[in-house]
Structure 1
Amino acid sequence: MTAPDSLPYRPCVGIMLFDARGRVFVGRRIDTPDAWQMPQGGIDDGEAPEAAALRELEEEIGTAAAVIEAGTAGWLTYDLPGHLVGKLWGGRWRGQRQKWFACRFTGTDQDIRLDTAHPEFDAWRWVGIDELTSLIVPFKKAIYAAVIEELGPAVRQRAAGTSQAERS
């Protein structure tokens, strides 16, 4: 068996999809009871991370009605817990190397459909940005904290600007 630390990281994107009120989309994973997460997924060979983010939104939540507002400056990584290495992704990866994007949702709640070709979520909801780390599985908490620290200000600023414009 290959040592986990000799395996590469899976190239991936993550999407912090937010609505006009600054709430963030989370979906409850079909395969992990009570595990909620933001959309994420692999980058295809030759695909730009921005294109992958919008494709993953469509594949996972049935819509790509979003505009990219910000992205992490670099890549963030996490390792899978030992008991999952070798079981996920055909045993090819030790974890994920992720580029995250804050995306403003431009659709309506009715545009979100979980009955996609390969469903990953069985429920969804909008949550406050400060709730995210309490919802995610433990081995991804540090990544979520880093994403919130880096992209949270853009989400809050954009939501505050939208709210002011709506009041005018």
Structure 2
Amino acid sequence: MDKPYRKNVGMVVFNSKGEVLVGERLNFKGSWQFPQGGIDEGEEPKAAAERELFEEVGIRTAEIVHEYPTWIEYDFPETLKLSSNLKKYKGQTQKWYLMYWDGRAEDCDLEVHEREFEKVRFIPFQDCLSTVVPFKRDVYEKLLIEFEPRIKTYLASR
């Protein structure tokens, strides 16, 4: 029987300069990614996004600007060392949210929950394609196409 996909949310947080927040994973030094996390049983994706954003980077005040219209799937590579709770999944199916937060990376609290990031920083959206692990690059390309124009529109309207 085929393994299922794990339901997950991802958050692209941008600031007033149009830069996006990425974190360097503790277990993938040199790889920077957007905050993301699992959806609990019975939890709505939007609520999961707000909870995970707080747990991973300590942000409570981000405004959801846009929701990616579909779920995006990716497979875990064979070579990936998965934690025991992820071994039962083929990969993840993700609902992504674009969120505005005009704080500073230094204001993020990475110790709220189980620490996942070594550090966080804001970078130009385009740069995330070269900083993310290769198996997530296709997902990030879709996010860039969908979200970047919305960031520009949102900032222009402020």
The TM tier, using the shorter chain, reads over 0.9
State the match for 2:51 in structure 1: 55
Question: How much is the aligned-residue C-alpha RMSD, in angstroms?
Answer: 1.7
Q: Could you say if the C-alpha distance between residues 87 and 60 of structure 1 is closer, same or farther in structure 2, counting changes exceeding 3 Å?
A: closer
* Equivalent of residue 79 in structure 1, options 68, 75, 80: 75
State the match for 2:111 in structure 1: 115
State the match for 2:16 in structure 1: 20
* Equivalent of residue 37 in structure 2, options 38, 41, 64: 41
The structure with more radius of gyration: 1
Question: What displacement does 1:109 show?
Answer: 4.4
Partner SS, residue 47 of structure 2 = helix
Question: What displacement does 1:161 show?
Answer: 2.8
Unaligned runs of 5+ in 1: 163-168
Greater displacement, 14-23 / 85-94? 85-94
Rounded to whole Å, the distance in 1 between the matches of 2:66 and 2:7 is 19
Question: What displacement does 1:108 show?
Answer: 4.8
Using structure 1 for the length normalisation, give the TM-score: 0.87
Using structure 2 for the length normalisation, give the TM-score: 0.93
State the match for 1:147 in structure 2: 143
Does the alignment pair 1:91 with 2:87? yes
Greater displacement, 114-123 / 34-43? 114-123
Aligned residues: 158
Unaligned runs of 5+ in 2: none
Greater displacement, 149-158 / 69-78? 149-158
